[in-house]
Amino acid sequence: MLEFPFIFGLKENKEMEKYYVNPNIEEAKTLPSSFYKSSETFSDVKDNIFLKCWHFIGDENSLIPLSKSAYPFILLDNFLSEPLVLVRNEKDEIKCFSNVCTHRGNIVINDPGKYRNLVCGYHGRKFDLNGKFMSMPEFQDVKDFPTECDHLHEFRIENLGPFLFAGINPKFEISGTIKIINERISFLPINQFKLDKNKSKDYLVNSNWALYCDNYLEGFHIPFIHKDLNATLDYKKYDVEIFKYSNLQIGYAEKNEICFNIPSSCQDHGEKIAAYYFWIFPNMMFNFYPWGLSINIVKPLAVKKTKIDFLSFVWDDSKLNLGAGADLDKVELEDEEIVQRVQKGVGSRFYKNGRFSPKMEKGVHHFHSLISEFLFK
C-alpha cells in the first residue's frame, strides 16, 4: 500500500529537481532545454504562472475614456482566453469584470461603447456598472435568488499612470513594482504619453515565450547582435537592478548621444541614461526613452510560437529617431532572428542547459528563479 505514494513522491521530486534553479548565480544552471519544448510544461506555465500573475490591459485614455462605458476584450487570446470587460461607471471608477453571464455563460458585452447597464442578449439578465445583478425575466419563482454568485466576478485593477493592470488570481502584489517605476521615472509626464498606432504593431516569433524573455533580460548580446544600438550605449556601464517580481536594466548613453534630462531631485541626476528597461514578471516590458515609452507584451500561443505586442506611447516626437530608442523595429527583428535560432538549438539532443554570467545575466537568472518558484513551490 505504501509503494504508490512513494513512487509518486519520487516522480514529483524529480520534476522539482529538473526545474530547480540555484539562488546563487555563480553555482546556478539555466532552466533545462526541456522547459522550452515540452507541451506538458507549457500547460503548467499557463496554470501556475500566468493565471497567478498580473496582466497589462492597456491605457485607459485609449480603451475607455468616457464615463458609463464598457470595453470587452479577451485576456491572452489563444492562451488564457479569458473574456473580460472594463467598465467606467457613473463615478468615473474603472472596474474589470468577467464578461460571462452568470445565468448560462453567454458573453454579456460584445462591442465597446456607452452603456447605462450591462444586459445579456441571451435571456435579458441585467447588471449595473458595478457588476451587480439587477434583474432577470421569469425568475420571480426562483428560491434563494439572487446570491453573490449571480453578480459578475470582479477582478482587481492597479494602474501606473494611465496604464491598467488586472490580476486574475495574483500570487503577489504589483503595487510595489509600480511604486519602484513611479519613483524612478517621476520626472516623466506619463499621463501625457499618447498611443501612436502607426508606430505600434504585432510580431509573431517562432520560439517559446520564455526564450524571448531570456533574450530581453540581458544586454550581454547587444555588441554581437545589435551593432547600431551598441554604438549608442556605453556597454561597460550597462547595469541591472533586481527586485522581487521585476527588474530594471539601465542603458547609459555614449558621448554625444541623446539621454534623459534628469532633475536634481531624482536618484539618477547627473547620469547619462539613454533608456530604462523595466520588466515585470512574467511577460511585461516597459521601455522608457527620451521620446516616450515602448511597451512590449509577450503572449504565448503555442510551445514554439509567441506573439509580441509593441505599443508606442509618444511624448516628444522630435526625439523618436535618436539614440537607443531609434529604429526599434530593426532591433526587434534582430532579436527575433537570434531567439528563433536558439529555439532550434535547444531542440538538440545534445544540449541540456547552460550556466550564467554573474555579471551580465543577473536578469535571466532572476527570471528562471521565479519560474522555478511558481512552478514547484
Q: What is the pLDDT of residues 98-115, one digit of tens each?
A: 999 999 999 999 999 999
The pLDDT mean for the chain works out to 95
153 DSSP 8-state letter: P
Q: Is 76 left (phi over 0), alpha (psi -120 to 50) or beta?
A: left
Q: Give the Cα separation of 167 and 184 in Å (integer).
A: 23
* Band of residue 197 on the pLDDT scale cut at 50, 70, 90: very high
CA distance 327 to 330: 6
Give backbone dihedrals phi and psi of 212, rounded to 5 degrees, phi first.
-65, -45
CB 182 within 8 A of CB 176: no
Of 260, 248, 240, nearest to 322 by C-alpha is 260
* pLDDT digits 0-9 by tens, 222-262: 999 999 999 999 999 999 999 999 999 999 999 999 999 99
CA torsion, ordered 220, 290, 189, 264, to nearest 10 deg: 80
For 168-245, where are the E strands, in sequence order?
A: 194-195, 201-205, 239-242
Place 6 in a pLDDT band, splitting at 50, 70 and 90.
very low
State which amino acid sits at residue 323.
G
CB of 313 closer than 8 Å to CB of 196: yes
DSSP category for residue 176: H
* 3-class state of residue 252 by DSSP: strand
Q: Is the pLDDT of residue 5 over 70?
A: no
Q: Domain-by-domain residue ranges, the chain?
A: 54-167, 192-376
Q: Per CATH, is 192-376 categorized as 3.40.50.300?
A: no
pLDDT in tens, 61-90: 999 999 999 999 999 999 999 999 999 999
CATH number corresponding to 54-167 = 2.102.10.10
- Most distant CA pair in the chain: distance in Å? 77
> Which whole-number Å values give the CA distances from 291 to 19, 181, 201, in the listed order?
40, 17, 18
- Do 206 and 340 form a contact (C-beta atoms < 8 A)? yes
268-291 pLDDT per residue, tens: 999 999 999 999 999 999 999 999
Task: Give the chain's count of helices (H) and strands (E).
Answer: 9, 18
Q: Shortest CA distance to 245 belongs to which of 52, 112, 74?
A: 52
Count of CA atoms in the C-beta half-sphere (13 A) of 4: 1
Q: Which amino acid is at 75?
A: L
Angle (nearest 5°) at CA 120 between 117 and 124: 95
pLDDT score at 18: 78
Report which residue type is found at 310.
Answer: F
